[in-house]
Amino acid sequence: MPLTEKQNKQILDELDHCNRPLYFFHDDTDGLCSFLLFYRYKLEGKGVCVKAQPIFDKRFFNIIQSYCPDKIFVVDVPQMDQDFIDELNRVVKVPIIWVDHHPPMKINGVKYFNPRIANESDGAPASKLCYDVVKKHRPEDLWIAVVGFVGDWTIQPDLKDFAKQYPDLMSATVKKPEEALFNSGLSKVIKLMNFILKGNTKDVMKCVKILTRVTSPYEILNNETSQVHYLWKRFDEVNEVYEELLGEAVELFEKEKSKLVVYIYKENKLSLSGDLSNELLYKFPEKVLIISRQKSGEMKMSLRSSGNILIPPILKKALEGVEGYGGGHEHACGACVKVRDFEKFLNSIRSQVD
């Protein structure tokens, strides 16, 4: 069990003893599904999507002050700013519950739940952690948990139960997350729930509100309601851009002979780097890849690898002597560096990989 039964009960107790919770969640399927699992259990509160830099910091101070929550839940957000937490605890004085699965941080003034504190190799994503908290009360939301952890490129034990309930959407023999992610009946649901997180925050949260009321994956797949129809409309808008970029990237990857492949795209309205990198890694598992988008003088990137090539130590060395930041998981990281430092950054990656 990723978190202990005692820890799960503590989190549930925090949910039970609040009336106006405010939820902050990362803008990917794992973060979205983590929020949905908590919200659909509690049926109270407001969600805030943490876009751009994945850190809980002063950007959200005004939101917290205007909403006046009696409790704050932060899920699947890998970093917090200690100065911001100190200010919140001094001015707002609201309990903060942080549920995450990224490399642990030492932050004072929050109730922190992360399985990696006890077991550094525990890769259970936030959606798995959140489902374990509420599953006795919301077993019907298993499909949301599966969307979350498969979307985060993991296989969890709950997938077997899902395959029994939805044999047409998932085979019980699936062993690899990429197979579940790209080659199952659930694939399109995962892709939709990821794509509706793209674009401006107002549109994103309208879609998220719809998802708080969806009863099953079939409601989405069969396009059964006018509200779900709106989700598919948003999906189609994003997917049109995505498929064009994917086609360009595949063409590049098929020609590239070196171990490292770098694809730079110019789309300035949508951030699709993580989605492109996941599918390209599925298609080209032998490559180490960087998918990058230039915006506001910075190169925003997703880095992926497979096998025994671990991204974090490579990324850490590449960030030495450049202005930027980055981090993430063993085979999947995000990074951002100034345009002027991009070539130096890439040269360091190449020297470590090729």
Query: How many domains are contained in the chain?
Result: 2
Do 184 and 262 belong together in one domain? Answer: no
How do residues 142-178 score in pLDDT, each as one tens digit? 999 999 999 999 999 999 999 999 999 999 999 999 9
Do 34 and 179 belong together in one domain? Answer: yes
Do 164 and 294 belong together in one domain? Answer: no
Please report, for the domain that includes residue 39, its CATH number: 3.90.1640.30
Specify if 243 maps to a domain.
no
Q: Minimal CA–CA distance to 328: which of 8, 22, 30? A: 30
Last residue of a domain, one of 188, 207, 241: 188
How do residues 252-306 score in pLDDT, each as one tens digit? 999 999 999 999 998 777 889 989 999 999 999 999 999 999 988 999 999 999 9
Range of the domain at 100: 5-188
Specify if 92 maps to a domain.
yes
- pLDDT value of position 123: 80
Do 13 and 111 belong together in one domain? Answer: yes
More confident residue, 53 or 77: 77
Q: Minimal CA–CA distance to 2: which of 154, 170, 166? A: 154
Do 315 and 179 belong together in one domain? Answer: no
Do 39 and 128 belong together in one domain? Answer: yes
CA distance 186 to 113: 29
Specify if 198 maps to a domain.
no
Stretch 335-340: mean pLDDT: 95
Specify if 242 maps to a domain.
no
Specify if 146 maps to a domain.
yes
Do 143 and 60 belong together in one domain? Answer: yes
Specify if 263 maps to a domain.
yes
Provide CB contacts within 8 A for 139, sequence distance 6+: none
How do residues 1-52 score in pLDDT, each as one tens digit? 699 999 999 999 999 999 999 999 999 999 999 999 999 999 999 999 998 7
Specify if 199 maps to a domain.
no
Is the CA virtual torsion 151, 157, 158, 159 positive or negative? positive
Please report, for the domain that includes residue 340, its CATH number: 3.10.310.40
Q: Please, how many CA atoms are within 13 Å of residue 254, restricted to the half-sphere of its CB? A: 6
Specify if 209 maps to a domain.
no
Full-model pTM: 0.92
